[in-house]
Amino acid sequence: MDKREFLKRAGLLTAGGVVAGSMSPLTASNMVGSLAAKKQVGLQIYSVMRELNADVPAGLKKIADIGYTNIELAGYGNRKMGEYSVEDYRKLADDAGLKITSSHVNPPTRNITKDKLGEIADFWKQTVEDHLKFGVKTLVQPMMPQMETHDDVAVVCESFNKAGEIAKAAGIKFGYHNHNMEFGRIVKPEDKDKPRNPWMPVGDVIYDMFLEQTDPSLVFFEMDVYWTVMGQADPLEYFSKYAGRFPVLHIKDRKVLGQSGMMNFKNIFNAAYKNGLEGYYVELEGLNEGDKTQFQGVKECFDYLNKAPFVK
């Protein structure tokens, strides 16, 4: 569709020309740009936490000025976001023109046992109550609990399902975010004496057990594609094997997106969209002192995605 046809369909062009007949070609071109769909690029605020915390209101505005539309929180605790109440932080984000669409929150312990399930469920009830006020769509546990046995994994998955049930009742989706450790294996007692061979690893992959022992209607997985690769796994294979379980991604590279040469984001995005991708968040870490500021880093990440033809 050319610009003239676009304006015509948008009701901005009459039979005789542009409405009122006084709009210059440059103005019309700018209007087409402003009416075009804007990419919904999210940012995990952990990426700029050090600089953001120095001046939260100004920092949130910087995030929006770069072009990010949504943010995923990190740092919720004691029913607050740093020094701000839930309500006050939500207002700061609203004032900056940002939507708080997700949040990373860990339960009070990484040692999840049967006798602690009730306590952990109570924590999620309180957390969901606060996150309703933030207006989030998703609530994500970002750190792997302590596990040594298959029974430990089963209890952890039970806790995930319960958290998902609590969140779902409030209209929020509960998810889990991986690092590289989840691609380690747990060996059954009867297999502990089997000879080890790097080409024929022994044991069950923790991430696979999470996917297989959680209810898809209660728990989704926010795959961090960089940590998946660092765990010597292929994001595309997981999209295929566990179709529909990854509606949200963390888009991450060694540092700034696209600069390491080790992440094939084109293939990842193409496969993720076919798999039902609903959203994604940039996460940046690994910057050394003197490299660049965190805000410079996330701007370069945004520019990379905004220019990428494979990102919708």
Give the domain range for residue 15.
Answer: 1-36
pLDDT band at 10 (very low <50, low <70, confident <90, very high): very low
CATH (domain of 204): 3.20.20.150
pLDDT at 211 over 90: yes
pLDDT band at 77 (very low <50, low <70, confident <90, very high): very high
**Quick one: 22 and 117 in the same domain?**
no
Give me the pLDDT at residue 196, please: 72
Buried b (16+ CB within 10 A) or exposed e, 240-249: eebeebbbbb
Asked if residues 63 and 98 have their Cβ atoms less than 8 Å apart, the reply is yes
- 99 inside domain: yes
**Quick one: 165 and 263 in the same domain?**
yes
**Quick one: 159 and 213 in the same domain?**
yes
AA identity, residue 43 = L
Q: CA-to-CA distance for 310 and 312, rounded, in angstroms?
A: 6
**Quick one: 109 and 189 in the same domain?**
yes
Mean pLDDT of 272-294: 93
- 223 inside domain: yes
- 312 inside domain: no
Residue 28 CB coordination number (10 Å): 19
- 201 inside domain: yes
- 136-145 pLDDT, tens digit each: 999 999 999 9
Which of 141, 103, 90 is CA-nearest to residue 120? 141
Instruction: Work out how many domains the chain is built from and give that number.
Output: 2
- 161 inside domain: yes
pLDDT > 70 fraction of the chain, expressed in percent and rounded = 88
- 71 inside domain: yes
Asked if residues 102 and 42 have their Cβ atoms less than 8 Å apart, the reply is yes
Asked if residues 246 and 278 have their Cβ atoms less than 8 Å apart, the reply is no
- 116 inside domain: yes
pLDDT at 65 over 60: yes
184 versus 11: the higher-pLDDT residue is 184
Mean pLDDT of 57-73: 98
Asked if residues 104 and 74 have their Cβ atoms less than 8 Å apart, the reply is yes
**Quick one: 256 and 144 in the same domain?**
yes
Mean pLDDT of 275-288: 95
pLDDT at 257 over 50: yes
AA identity, residue 291 = D
Which of 208, 279, 276, 229 is CA-nearest to residue 249? 279
Triad 267, 273, 275: Cα angle to 5°: 100
**Quick one: 185 and 47 in the same domain?**
yes
- 151 inside domain: yes
**Quick one: 18 and 155 in the same domain?**
no
**Quick one: 15 and 157 in the same domain?**
no
pLDDT band at 35 (very low <50, low <70, confident <90, very high): very low
**Quick one: 194 and 158 in the same domain?**
yes
- 161-209 pLDDT, tens digit each: 999 999 999 999 999 999 999 999 999 888 777 777 767 788 999 999 9
**Quick one: 77 and 166 in the same domain?**
yes
**Quick one: 190 and 221 in the same domain?**
yes
**Quick one: 96 and 45 in the same domain?**
yes
